[in-house]
Structure 1
């Protein structure tokens, strides 16, 4: 697709000028198009994104069709919490992997989104769902999906600047002595078990991680806690909770706690609320994911034990 634009103002650098006028294309994608020789300025290929556009300049932008991924769409029912032409928020169930990986090539959330979003735009030039952040396979709850290049860039920037809020509910073993706190411990790959993460100093490759927590309900030897992430490291809440001495109930990797008589499909950790700004309108969007049945059943059992010890 080719788009012709005539400049009516001057002084603005080329990539910013085009980003202002091509609403569905992010600035980083425009820079890729310029670097790839797909932008012509006054009938000549221009590969300098910093050149200043002048009044009367004629620009032509060639946007190639998105490449297709070697992925099969999966007809899987999705619990959509919010959706428009820019983005979606999905309530992910336990057991569903977000991205294709060895052993899960065509049964992931990405495959389901390819079937659901039949007009999905190309993000970074590739036709694929724009996963903005991830949830572990056995963690449930709200996850944001970008449908356009612009939305993907905007939503990721919100996570980086912490204007987007990711809040979780989790049931942990034990009873913390404080009502709230913050865990700041770097996280990296476990030195022995490479499938696990661990607290690893930054000079040994760990990455800074910060988790805020607050008690919601004390349930005897168990506690319902709310977590808020400032960073998004792999297994962050699970590793930080275990480091605190209160691992997540049902976590088969970071806890060896006893069964509670509930057949949990994964750890009792749920991304219950996601708050962000719409990429175009700037409107605040707050999506709440209902508790999964197994999580709600666990809470009911613990509350009954408190009431009838």
Structure 2
């Protein structure tokens, strides 16, 4: 089985089964194990002086561990590689979580806030329906890059070691790569390496979403707004998604009780968005997934 067949099979398994709760109620999810290792390093090493150097050492240790484990798992054959890849690809769970925000928002704004709080890190307590909608769509676009395209990219480039290394660094960035007094220094290496590993996948995600748009948006406009984003990568799929479904994204939002005045992405798009636009986003995610899957199947057949 070639790498294209591995990709296609893993994608299909993830799309059909997603994250089976019965399994992860009995066994720890690999992402949970990664999180425990990262948290342990954070507690033990993120103290005293030279925190940036300690953070670099932590990332080196995490990377070495990820590569060692993946090399061992690879020895058990392609079936294990496919299963692990299917577990670490997040298309089905991403779409399910985003769709849950739409369903909850149709019930009440309170339900919508509770649902979107499951997938975003910002304050949701005072969000109105359009703010809940924007948060869900932004999370969908960013996580399509981080949770689907990037894992597939690194699996294709580096096999199982590339995939597990990426997921480890991405998890580390989500836990310690924050610009807070505690993590600005210790999480610096994790954040910078995650930025580097997402450089190509983020732009590839944006290109795919843009190509699925009707009418086709101007790439220069997407690039301009993406470069204004607080993240070097997240702005690319967000700007493309905003134009695909015709909404304005980003804008003012609260983090840790403080409002931050971010500019709107696609400011001429619909501002009073709601569940219908979240549903449209989920449709785009599955259409983009289908293009990647079809390409992987075609490569598997040809190669």
The normalised TM-score by structure 1 is 0.28
Higher relative contact order (CA 8 A, sep 6+): 2
Larger Rg: 1
Instruction: Give the number of the structure whose residues are more often strand, by fraction.
Output: 1
